[in-house]
Amino acid sequence: MKSDNKNIRHLSLPALQEYFGSIGEKPFRAKQVYEWLWLRHANSFEAMTNLSKELRQKLEEHFSLPAVKIDTVQQSTDGTIKSRFRLHDNHLVEGVLIPTDSRQTACVSSQVGCSLSCKFCATGYMERKRNLDYDEIYDEVALINQQALETSGKKLSNIVFMGMGEPLLNYKNVLQAIERITAPDGLAMSPKRITVSTAGVAKMIRQLGDDKVRFNLALSLHAANDKKRSEIMPINDSNNLTELIAALNYFYKATQNEISFEYILFKDFNDSKEDADELIKIYRQVPADLVNIIEYNPIDMARFQKPDAKTAEEFMEYLSKNRVNARLRRSRGKDIDAACGQLANKG
């Protein structure tokens, strides 16, 4: 296989049919290969056992199949599994399987590193090397799905794009990956069980509306006024809360899809009654289903700490009293740096 050969998974089914026709093969061969690539998740031409040896060799000469491989796996005491994936060019990204009694959730990455420099997130301190291709994102999900089947006998029930990178800055590949993940000849998952989380790229949130996507959207809010939000999330300087609220309403009007907010509690920064009031104000301006209040997971590079249990409880009670549908999300996989905000390719 020559490294400059075209990645076979970047060919559509009609393009594959055309290729097989050009080498004098029956059109049904294209369907067989397409099934191996997406439905059966073959990571080499050698694995395509219902093709002749000659045909497999020919594919090997003409195409590349740069499959993602698992580099290391760590298991948390709470059952969470973190995998470090090695890409064909030796870049590394991480993905996490979060099992509970009722669901098997994959948390996947969309970029190698991240360019947004959020002050509380380990990935934010890494340089963005490149975007993941759609087939690489698909591989992450397929590999985590295999782990779910091996460890629990259950398939993945949910996918969250909350790993490394900003999904909406890799827009085309994320949408193509979801198209393959939800396709009957892919992983056949319901788009309603997929949530894409964004730090807030207003223009691309509107684009999701225009493209009539069918998956859910989560906004990483983390502070409910512009001054504080800009302090911890530099992207807020160019995508302020007024713009984001307008974009979320546009998205909802176009798709009717579920919207949620993510809000990490930081001690003495965004955990007061005044902060809760500002959060309530934003919640009432958007048809959001839920506010996920997240426990902060300290990282070496950041100065933030998590508030004590009493403060978090009072914050939640205040939201509830004001009819905000909020849920306190306990972090999973903290002991292996697999929790929210901790992904940074540590072995």
Could you give phi then psi for residue 140, rounded to 5 degrees? Answer: -55, -50
At a CB cut-off of 8 Å and minimum separation 6, what does 256 contact?
A: none
The secondary element (H helix, E strand) that includes residue 54 is helix 53-62
Three-state DSSP class for 115? coil
The reply to whether 197 sits in an annotated binding site is: yes
Q: Does 297 show up as a binding residue in the annotation?
A: yes
Q: How far apart are CA 7 and CA 20, in angstroms?
A: 16
- Is 166 part of any known ligand binding site? yes
Residue tagged active-site, from 107, 136, 140, 340: 340
117 annotated as belonging to a binding site for a ligand: no
The reply to whether 94 belongs to the active site is yes
Please tell me whether 124 is known to bind a ligand. no
User: Active-site residue 136, yes or no?
Assistant: no
Nearest to 131 by CA among 160, 181, 162, 91: 91
Is 114 annotated as contributing to ligand binding? Answer: yes
Among 54, 94, 136, 313, the active-site one is 94
Contacts 24+ apart (CB under 8 A), 2-5: 2/61, 2/64, 3/64, 5/61, 5/62, 5/63, 5/64
Helix, strand, or coil (residue 85):
strand
Is 24 part of any known ligand binding site? no
Known binding residues? 114, 118, 121, 165-166, 197, 220-222, 297
Known binding residues for S-adenosyl-L-methionine? 165-166, 197, 220-222, 297
Positions annotated as catalytic residues are 94, 340
Known binding residues for [4Fe-4S] cluster? 114, 118, 121
